[in-house]
């Protein structure tokens, strides 16, 4: 039996009598970019919250490299290789870019309180190593010019890039990107698309992406998984999913023959 990097099997999440996610199965393999699409309320962000340990599953199983995440405390998810960005920015607005990126390294710290207080021995060695990691991310994301800027003073597009950098600083095996280009202009979107591809190709990180920008989804995805009302409509290659009658119905409400790309402007920036 093939062991996928990230695997969801019949995952369900219920809130009272309502199923926000209903029996969803999907997987991400090494070297893949997989996108999850669907109209508002389809259950996409709830699914991300289950994968990242923000919410417990009601039934089903989520595993990374064969390890059942139900048996792992939430604070160890990063250690297992799950990184994430959020639909709404979750940065420390009063900290610098470097400070925010260093937060992503925190789970790897083994320094004792005493060592940290006096900044000697292992504490000093760890800080040097983490700052080296941060500098590589700064170079990778081309944000050298803002490295010492306070994050809250930066344009929205650059703040999104910093959040991507903080997620990369956790050294993920699979990176969950939740609406990473929402609110961006075309140039900013093209930059992020390039960084996503480079993250996969140069850093070897697999990507699971929630996105309403259908042009981005169709351009960079290896596979696409479509949801509606918490259930899977279909999954497959981007062009197959785009032309699927159930996906068209979910986005447009009728079988007009138009692809979901036509509905993307209506969906952009909406909460899932």
Pseudo-torsion of CA 102, 48, 199, 233, nearest 10°?
A: -170
Q: Is the pLDDT of residue 108 over 80?
A: no
Identify which of 60, 33, 10, 25 has the alpha carbon closest to the alpha carbon of residue 235.
25
Q: What is the 3-state secondary structure (H, E, C) of 7-59?
A: EEEEEEEEECCEEEEEEEEEEECCCCEEEEECCCCCCHHHHHHHHCCCCCCCE
**Sheet with 6-15, edge to edge strand ranges:** 18-28, 6-15, 59-64, 67-68
* Average pLDDT over the chain, rounded to an integer: 86
User: Residue 121 has what pLDDT?
Assistant: 56
User: Residue 251 has what pLDDT?
Assistant: 80
Beta strands in 138-182 (DSSP E): 174-178
Q: Which domain holds residue 160?
A: 92-171
Does residue 155 sit in the same domain as residue 53? no
Task: Report the distance separating Cα 151 and Cα 53, nearest Å.
Answer: 26
Q: Is the pLDDT of residue 267 over 80?
A: no
Beta carbons of 173 and 64 less than 8 angstroms apart: yes
Does residue 165 sit in the same domain as residue 110? yes
217 in any annotated domain: no
Q: Is the pLDDT of residue 114 over 60?
A: no
**Sheet with 223-228, edge to edge strand ranges:** 82-84, 174-178, 206-210, 33-37, 223-228, 231-236
Checking DSSP bridges between strand 174-178 and strand 82-84, what pairing results, if any?
parallel
Task: Report the distance separating Cα 176 and Cα 86, nearest Å.
Answer: 9
67 in any annotated domain: yes
pTM of this structure = 0.83
Does residue 70 sit in the same domain as residue 59? yes
Which helix (H) or strand (E) segment holds residue 126: the answer is helix 122-140
166 in any annotated domain: yes
CATH number, domain of 36, equals: 3.40.50.300
What is the DSSP-derived secondary structure letter of residue 222?
Answer: S
Mean pLDDT calculated for residue range 259-272: 38
The total domain count for the chain is: 2
Q: Is the pLDDT of residue 88 over 90?
A: no
Task: Report the distance separating Cα 193 and Cα 187, nearest Å.
Answer: 10
Does residue 71 sit in the same domain as residue 182? yes
Q: What are residue 226's DSSP bridge partners?
A: 37, 234
For residue 79, CA distances in Å to 3, 104, 109, 209, 217 come to 19, 11, 11, 20, 28
Q: Is the pLDDT of residue 8 over 90?
A: yes
Identify which of 210, 169, 202 has the alpha carbon closest to the alpha carbon of residue 28.
210
Q: What are residue 234's DSSP bridge partners?
A: 226
Mean pLDDT calculated for residue range 212-237: 94
Q: Which residues, at least 6 apart from 263, have a Cβ–Cβ distance to it below 8 Å?
A: 39, 214, 251, 252
Task: Report the distance separating Cα 76 and Cα 268, nearest Å.
Answer: 33
Does residue 163 sit in the same domain as residue 203? no
Does residue 167 sit in the same domain as residue 271? no
Q: Which residues, at least 6 apart from 254, have a Cβ–Cβ distance to it below 8 Å?
A: none
At 119, the pLDDT band (50, 70, 90 cuts) reads low
Mean pLDDT calculated for residue range 18-45: 94
């Amino acid at each position: 039996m093939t062991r996928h990097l990230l695997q969801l099997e019949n995952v369900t999440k219920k809130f009272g009598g309502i199923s926000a996610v209903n029996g969803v199965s999907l997987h991400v393999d090494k070297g893949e970019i997989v996108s999850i699409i669907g109209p508002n309320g389809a259950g996409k962000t709830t699914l991300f919250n289950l994968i990242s340990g923000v919410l417990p599953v009601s039934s089903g199983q989520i595993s990374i490299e064969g390890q059942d995440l139900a048996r792992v405390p939430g604070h160890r998810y990063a250690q297992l290789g799950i990184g994430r960005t959020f639909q709404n920015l979750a940065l420390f607005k009063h900290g610098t870019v470097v400070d925010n990126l260093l937060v992503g390294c925190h789970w790897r710290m083994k320094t004792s309180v005493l060592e940290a207080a006096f900044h000697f021995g292992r504490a000093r060695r760890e800080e040097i190593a983490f700052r080296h990691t941060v500098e590589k991310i700064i170079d990778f994301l081309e944000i050298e010019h803002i490295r010492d800027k306070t994050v809250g003073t930066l344009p929205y597009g650059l703040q999104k890039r910093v959040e991507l950098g903080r997620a990369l600083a956790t050294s993920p095996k699979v990176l969950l990107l939740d609406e990473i280009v929402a609110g961006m202009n075309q140039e900013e979107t093209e930059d992020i698309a390039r960084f996503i591809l480079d993250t996969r190709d140069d850093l070897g990180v697999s990507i699971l992406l929630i996105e309403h920008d259908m042009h981005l989804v169709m351009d960079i995805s290896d596979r696409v998984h479509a949801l509606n009302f918490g259930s899977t409509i279909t999954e497959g290659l981007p062009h197959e999913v785009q032309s699927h009658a159930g996906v068209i119905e979910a986005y447009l409400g009728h079988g007009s023959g138009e692809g979901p790309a036509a509905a993307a402007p209506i969906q952009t920036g909406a909460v899932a």
